[in-house]
Amino acid sequence: MQAKSAGLFVAAFLAAGGLFLTGSAVMAQEQPKPPTPAPTLIPFPINRPVPLPGQVTPTPQVLPVQPPEALVWDANEKELTVKPGAATAEFFFAVTNVSEAPYTITSIHTSCGCTVAKAPPMPWTLAPHSDGRVEVSVNLAGKSGTIMKQVTVQSTNAPKLLNVTIKIPDSPELVRLRNMQMATADPAAIFKGECASCHVVPTVGKFGPELAKAACGICHEAERRATMVPDLKNLPHPTDYAFWKEIISNGKPGTLMPGFSVAKNGPLSVEQIESLAQLLAKTIPSKLTPIPGTNTTLVRLPPSAGLPAIPPPPAPPAPPAPPAVPK
Ligand code: HEC
Ligand code: HEC
C-alpha cells in the first residue's frame, strides 16, 4: 500500500515535470524570466521559467533538455598577443558533442559590438559525436593594452561562456614618444629602471669600441633613431678629445643627449669616459681645422651646443689709414 502510493506520487511528479519542461524550453527563447520561485525540496523542473497564465508562446518548437556535459570545448578561454597596429584578433573555439543525442545551440551573443562570433545558422544542432567551431573576431580599432571579451553560447542549459584575452603591445612610435618624454623630464632616466636593461647593462665593464657601440651606438647608430639624433661622424663642427670628454661626461643640457658621468647620475667611470673620448678623437676626423691662435676646436660650436663658447680670436689690428690725398 505504502509502495503503491509512493509510485503514484512519482508518476504524477514526472508528468508535471514533463509539462513544466516543455513549456520552459519554449519560454527560454523569447520571454523574460519571471522571478525565480522560492527554493523548495522538489528537485528539478521548478527552477525553470514558468509560463504565466494567458501568455502567448510564439514558437511551437520544443527542445529537449540536454545534459551540459554533452558539449566539450577545446578551451574556456584563449589568449592572443597581436602585433602593434593589428586591425583584428581572430580566435576559434572547437566544440564536440560527445553525447549520444543531438545537441542544439540556440544562440550566440558577444559582450560588445566590436566582437563578432561566426557559427552555423541558429538553432545549430550538433549531431552525436560531431564537431563544430565558433569563430570569434575582435575589432581592435581604438583599443590598447589588454582587453577581454566574452562570447555566450546559449542552449537549453546554463549558458556557456567563452573568454578571449587580447594583448596589444604599444606601437614602437608610442614607446619612443614615452621614452623621449621620460628622458626630457629627467635626462638620467635612461640609466634607471627598465631603461637600464638596454641603455646601461650592455656598457658594464666595457671599454673602447665595444663601449662606444653599447653606450653611444644604441642611439647614434640606430636605423630608426629619432631625427634629432645626429650622426657622430658628420657633426657640423670641429671635435677633439676635450670636446668628446665634455659631451660624454655632461651631455648636452636641455636635450635628450644624457651625461654619462657619475656626477650626472650616469653609469660610466672616469676611465671608461676617457677610453671613449680617446677612441672617438682618434677615429672621427674633425670637420674643421682649429682656428689659428687658439688651442681648442670648441670655438665654432653653435651656441645651441650648450658648451661654453670661447670668444673668437681678436681681429688683427686694422691697417693704418692711407694718407689723405688732396684733390
Ligand atoms: C629594449 C631596449 C630599450 C629599452 C628598454 C629602452 N630603450 Fe631607449 N632606445 C633603444 C634603442 C634601440 C634606441 C634607438 C632608436 C630606436 O631604434 O628606436 C633608443 C633610443 C632612445 C632615445 C633617443 C631617441 C630615439 O628614439 O631615437 C631616448 C631618449 C631613449 N631611448 C630613452 C629611453 C628611456 C627613457 C627608456 C626607459 C623608459 C628607454 N629608452 C628604454 C632601446 C631601448
Ligand atoms: C639616449 C640616446 C643617446 C645616447 C645613448 C647617446 N646620445 Fe648623444 N645625442 C643624443 C641626442 C638626442 C642628441 C642631439 C641633442 C640635440 O638635440 O642637439 C645627441 C647629440 C650628441 C652629440 C652632438 C652634440 C653637438 O652639439 O654637436 C654628440 C657629440 C654626442 N651626442 C655624443 C654621444 C656619445 C659619445 C655617446 C656615448 C657615450 C652618446 N652621444 C650617447 C642622444 C643620445
Please indicate whether residue 309 or residue 254 has the higher confidence score (pLDDT): 254
Q: Is the pLDDT of residue 248 over 90?
A: yes
- Section 242-254 average pLDDT: 95
Closest CA to 31 of 6, 51, 8: 51
**Maximum average pLDDT range among 22-36, 56-70, 240-254:** 240-254
* Same domain? 115 vs 159: yes
Q: Output the pLDDT for position 179.
A: 92
* Same domain? 117 vs 241: no
Please indicate whether residue 191 or residue 24 has the higher confidence score (pLDDT): 191
CA 305 to centroid of chain Cα atoms: 37
Residue that is written with C-alpha cell 670636446 in the block = 243
Q: List b or e across 166-201, with b for residues whose CB sees 16 or more CB atoms inside 10 angstroms.
A: bebeeeeeeeeeebeeebeeebbbbbeeeebeebbe
* Same domain? 176 vs 300: yes
Alpha helices by DSSP H, listed for 235-311, are: 241-250, 270-283
* Same domain? 205 vs 279: yes
* Same domain? 150 vs 275: no
Owning domain of residue 212: 172-305
* Same domain? 125 vs 161: yes
* Same domain? 188 vs 283: yes
Q: Output the pLDDT for position 28.
A: 40
Please indicate whether residue 246 or residue 17 has the higher confidence score (pLDDT): 246
Nearest residue by C-alpha to atom 16 in ligand 2: 255
Q: What is the pLDDT of residues 44-65, one digit of tens each?
A: 434 444 556 565 555 555 556 6
Q: What is the pLDDT of residues 127-166, one digit of tens each?
A: 999 999 999 999 999 898 999 999 999 987 778 999 999 9
Give domain status of residue 135, yes or no.
yes
Q: What is the pLDDT of residues 184-229, one digit of tens each?
A: 999 899 999 999 999 999 999 999 999 999 999 999 999 888 889 9
* Long-range residue pairs from 189-198, CB within 8 A, at least 24 positions apart, any chain: 190/258, 191/258, 191/265, 191/266, 191/267, 196/267
Q: How many angstroms is it from 293 CA to the middle of ligand 2? A: 29
Name the residue of 171, 175, 178, 195 whose CB sits within 8 Å of the most ligand 1 atoms, as the mutation to test its pocket.
Answer: 195
Q: How many angstroms is it from 80 CA to the middle of ligand 1? A: 26
Question: Are residues 89 and 140 in contact, defined by beta-carbon separation less than 8 angstroms?
Answer: yes
Q: How many angstroms is it from 304 CA to the middle of ligand 1? A: 23
Give domain status of residue 27, yes or no.
yes
Give domain status of residue 118, yes or no.
yes
Share of the chain above pLDDT 70, in %: 67
Q: pLDDT averaged over the chain?
A: 79
> Is the Cα dihedral 120, 123, 128, 133 positive or negative?
positive
Number of domains in the chain: 3
The residue out of 104, 138, 168 marking a domain boundary is 168
Closest CA to 264 of 246, 241, 244: 246
Site residues for ligand 1, CB cut-off 6 Å: 176, 179-180, 182-183, 189-190, 194-195, 197-199, 218-219, 222, 224-226, 229, 256
Q: How many angstroms is it from 233 CA to the middle of ligand 1? A: 20
Q: Is the pLDDT of residue 90 over 60?
A: yes
Q: Output the pLDDT for position 4.
A: 45
Q: Is the pLDDT of residue 88 over 90?
A: yes
Q: Output the pLDDT for position 84.
A: 86
Q: Output the pLDDT for position 48.
A: 43
Q: Output the pLDDT for position 158.
A: 76
CATH code of residue 91: 2.60.40.10
